[in-house]
C-alpha cells in the first residue's frame, strides 16, 4: 500500500481549500524509553515493535504553513532558507506532495525548533508532528489525534508519538494499511521526572536512523532477539510507571537503549554512534549510581545521551554534568 492511499482514506470528505491565511502548530519532541527499531513496512513506516516515549514539554517544533503564489515551495528552518534539492528539503517537499490539493499548489513552511538540532535530538519526530498539526489547522480538517498520529508516522515513525505530552505508547498494530499503528497517551503524570540532554558531539551523523534501522534488520544476527527484549521492556516500563518505580524505569530504559545499540554493532558494516565522549559519560553515570545517585541514560541514533533522574537528584546530576540541558516533561 502507498502513503497516498492511506492519506486519501483519512482525508476523504475533508476540505481542501484553506479558510484562513496560514496554519500554525507546536509539537513536542519525544525520547523513547523503549525504542522503535526496525520496520515491517518501509513505505508506511510500520514498526516491527511497539515503543514508549516521554515528550519533552515545551521543547519541540513550531511550524507555520501557507499557500504561496510561486512555482516552488519555500522552506525556512531556524531562520535559514533550505535548498529544496538538499536531502532535508527533498524529504519535506516529497511529504508535502502527499497533501497538495492540486499539483500546482506551493507552500511556504517556516519551522522553529528549540532543541539542539545539529546533534540529532529527535528533530524529525517533532518536525513532522508539527507539520501535520499545522496542515490540519490550515485546511480545517478537524482530524483527531489518532488520525494525526498516523499521518505524522508517514513522515517519520517516531513522529507518531509526538502528538501528545507525557508518556506515549505507539502500538505497532497489525493491519496492512497501518490504521491501527499510532500513538496514544498513557494516563500517568510524573511531575518529579527530569530528562537532561547531554550534548557530547555535534558533528554530522554517519548514518540516518532510517538507514541504520534497515541495515540492522537486514544484517544483524542479534536482531532476532530484539522483539523479545521489547516485549519484556514494555511490560517492565508499564509496571514501573503505574508503581512510580523510578529505578525500574531507568534500568529498563538504559538496558533497552544498550540492547538496540548491540543490534547495530552486530550489523555489517557495523554501526557505532558512540564517540569517546559518549563512553566517558556512560562511565560517569555508572559512577554516580555507585555513589547512590539514581541517574540513568538512554541513547538514540547519535552520540549524545539523555539522562533520566528525579527532581530530588537534580543538583547532584547538574554538578556532575554542568552543561546538561534540563527538561521538565510535566513542568
Ligand atoms: C533510535 O523515527 O527517525 O530514535 O521512521 O525512518 O523516520 P524513520 O525513523 P525515526 O527513528 C527513530 C529511531 C530512534 C528510536 C525511537 O525514537 O524510538
E strand or H helix that includes residue 196: strand 193-198
* Cα(91) to centroid(ligand 1), Å: 15
Tell me which of 60, 132, 158, 304 to substitute to probe ligand 1's pocket, judged by most ligand atoms within 8 Å of the beta carbon.
Answer: 158
Query: 119 pLDDT band (50/70/90 cuts)?
Result: low
The pLDDT of 219-237, averaged and rounded, is 98
CA–CA distances in Å: residue 212 to residues 43, 209, 238: 16, 5, 27
159 DSSP assignment: G
Residue nearest ligand 1's atom 6 by CA: 210
For ligand 1, what atom is nearest to the CA of residue 34?
Answer: 18
Q: What's the mean pLDDT when you consider all of the chain?
A: 96
pLDDT band of residue 121 (cuts 50, 70, 90) is low
pTM reported for the whole predicted model: 0.97
CA of 304 to the centre of ligand 1 (A): 15
Please give the radius of gyration of the chain, using alpha carbons only, rounded to the nearest integer.
20
Q: List ligand 1's pocket residues with C-beta within 6 A.
A: 32, 35-36, 45, 51, 124, 156-158, 209-210, 300-301
Q: Mean pLDDT throughout 296-305?
A: 96
What is the spatial distance between Cα 139 and Cα 19, in angstroms, rounded to a whole number? 7
Nearest CA to ligand 1 atom 12: 158
Q: Which three cell numbers stand for residue 139?
A: 485546511
Chain centroid to Cα 77, Å, comes to 18
CA–centroid distance, residue 291 to ligand 1 (Å): 33
Q: Which residues contact 83 (CB under 8 A, 6 or more apart)?
A: 89
Q: What is the pLDDT of residues 157-201, one digit of tens each?
A: 999 999 999 999 999 999 999 999 999 999 999 999 999 999 998
Give, for ligand 1, the residue of 53, 131, 209 to mutate: max count of ligand atoms closer than 8 Å to Cβ: 209
pLDDT of residue 120: 56
* Mean pLDDT computed over 206-221: 95
pLDDT tens, residue by residue, 73-94: 999 999 999 999 998 899 999 9
Please give the Cα distance from 54 to 65 (Å, whole number): 27
Q: In degrees to the nearest 10, what's the CA dihedral of 138, 144, 146, 151?
A: -20
Position in ligand 1 atom list of the atom nearest CA 158:
2
144 contacts: CB under 8 Å, gap ≥ 6: none
Average the pLDDT over each of 46-60, 201-215, 247-261, 282-296 and give the range with the smallest value. Answer: 201-215
Per-residue model confidence (pLDDT) at position 70: 97
Amino acid at each position: 500500500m502507498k502513503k497516498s492511499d492511506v492519506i486519501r482514506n483519512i482525508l476523504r470528505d475533508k476540505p481542501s481549500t484553506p479558510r484562513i491565511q496560514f496554519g500554525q502548530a507546536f509539537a513536542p519532541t519525544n525520547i523513547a524509553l523503549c525504542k522503535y527499531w526496525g520496520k515491517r513496512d518501509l513505505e508506511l513506516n510500520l514498526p516491527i515493535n511497539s515503543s514508549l516515549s516521554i515528550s519533552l514539554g515545551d521543547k519541540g517544533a513550531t511550524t507555520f504553513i501557507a499557500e504561496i503564489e510561486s512555482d516552488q515551495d519555500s522552506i525556512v528552518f531556524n531562520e535559514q532558507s533550505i535548498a529544496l534539492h538538499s536531502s532535508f528539503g527533498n524529504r519535506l517537499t516529497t511529504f508535502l506532495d502527499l497533501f497538495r490539493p492540486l499539483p500546482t499548489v506551493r507552500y511556504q513552511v517556516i519551522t522553529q525548533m528549540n532543541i539542539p538540532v545539529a546533534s540529532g535530538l529527535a528533530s524529525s519526530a517533532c518536525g513532522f508532528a508539527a507539520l501535520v498539526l499545522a496542515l490540519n489547522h490550515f485546511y480545517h480538517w478537524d482530524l483527531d489525534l489518532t488520525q494525526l498520529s498516523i499521518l505524522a508516522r508517514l513522515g517519520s515513525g517516531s513522529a507518531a508519538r509526538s502528538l501528545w505530552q507525557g508518556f506515549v505508547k505507539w502500538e505497532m498494530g497489525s493491519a496492512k494499511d497501518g490504521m491501527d499503528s499510532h500513538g496514544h497517551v498513557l494516563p500517568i503524570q510524573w511531575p518529579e521526572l527530569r530528562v537532561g540532554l547531554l550534548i557530547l558531539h555535534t558533528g554530522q551523523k554517519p548514518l540516518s536512523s532510517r538507514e541504520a534501522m534497515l541495515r540492522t534488520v537486514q544484517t544483524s544476527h542479534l536482531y532476532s532477539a530484539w522483539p523479545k527484549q521489547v516485549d519484556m521492556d514494555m511490560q517492565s516500563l508499564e509496571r514501573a510507571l503505574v508503581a512510580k518505580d523510578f529505578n525500574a524505569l531507568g534500568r529498563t530504559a538504559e538496558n533497552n537503549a544498550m540492547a538496540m545499540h548491540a543490534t547495530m554493532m552486530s550489523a555489517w558494516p557495523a554501526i557505532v554512534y558512540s564517540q569517546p565522549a559518549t563512553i566517558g559519560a556512560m562511565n560517569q553515570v555508572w559512577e554516580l549510581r555507585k555513589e547512590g545517585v539514581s541517574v540513568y541514560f538512554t541513547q538514540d541514533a547519535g552520540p549524545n545521551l539523555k539522562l533520566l533522574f528525579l527532581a530530588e537528584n537534580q543538583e547532584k546530576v547538574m554538578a556532575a554534568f554542568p552543561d546538561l540541558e534540563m527538561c521538565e516533561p510535566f513542568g
